[in-house]
Structure 1
Amino acid sequence: MAAGQLFSRTTQALFYNYKQLPIQRMLDFDFLCGRETPSVAGIINPGSEGFQKLFFGQEEIAIPVHADIEAACAAHPTADVFINFASFRSAAASSMAALKQPTIRVVAIIAEGVPESDTKQLIAYARANNKVVIGPATVGGIQAGAFKIGDTAGTIDNIIHCKLYRPGSVGFVSKSVCSYSYSCLCQFHLSHIKDRFWVNSLKDHFHKWSMGASSIFILRCI
Structure 2
Amino acid sequence: MADAMKSHQDADVLINFASLRSAYESTFETPWFTPKTKAIVWGMQTRAVQSLLDFDFVCSRKEGSVVAIVYPFTGDHKQKFYWGHKEILIPVYKNMADAMKRHQDADVLINFASLRSAYESTFETPSLAQRRWVALNQDASKLETLEA
- Distance of 2:32 and 2:61 partners within structure 1: 17
Q: Distance in 2 between matches of 1:85 and 1:35?
A: 24
CA-based RMSD? 1.9
Q: Which of the numbers 135, 143, 146 marks the counterpart of 1:108?
A: 135
Aligned partner of 2:51: which letter? Answer: R
Contact 1:70 1:101 in 2 (8 A): no
Determine which of 45, 57, 75 is the counterpart of 1:19.
45
User: Any idea what SS the aligned residue of 1:98 has?
Assistant: coil
- How far is the alpha carbon of 1:100 from its aligned partner? 4.0
Give 1 or 2: higher helix fraction: 2
Find the counterpart in structure 1 of residue 31 from structure 2.
5
- The match for 1:88 among 100, 107, 115 is 115
Instruction: Measure, in 2, the Cα distance between the counterparts of 1:100 and 1:82.
Output: 12
Q: Which amino acid aligns with 2:96?
A: I
Counterpart position of 1:41: 67
> TM-score with structure 2 length normalisation?
0.70
Shift of 1:112: 6.5
1:57 matched to 2:84: yes
CA contact (8 A) 2:52 2:66 kept: yes
Counterpart in 2 of 1:216?
none
Question: Pick from 42, 48, 55: which aligns with 1:29?
Answer: 55
CA distance in 2, matches of 1:5, 1:86: 24
CA distance in 2, matches of 1:10, 1:24: 18
What SS class does the counterpart of residue 22 from structure 1 fall into? helix
How many equivalent residue pairs? Answer: 112
Letter in 2 for 1:28: D
SS at 1:7 equivalent: coil
Asked if 2 retains the 8 angstrom alpha-carbon contact of 1:98 and 1:104, the reply is no
Q: Is the 8 A contact 2:71 2:92 kept in 1?
A: yes
Q: CA deviation at 1:89?
A: 1.2
- Give the Cα separation in 2 of the matches to 1:88 and 1:99: 21
Provide the identity percentage: 36
Aligned match of 2:105: 78
Name stretches of at least 5 consecutive residues in structure 2 with no aligned partner.
1-28, 144-148
Change in 2 beyond 3 A, CA 1:103/1:52: farther
So what's the TM-score if we normalise by structure 1? 0.47
Q: CA deviation at 1:102?
A: 4.6
Corresponding letter in the other structure for 1:94: S
Using the alignment, how far apart are the partners of 1:92 and 1:69 within structure 2?
14
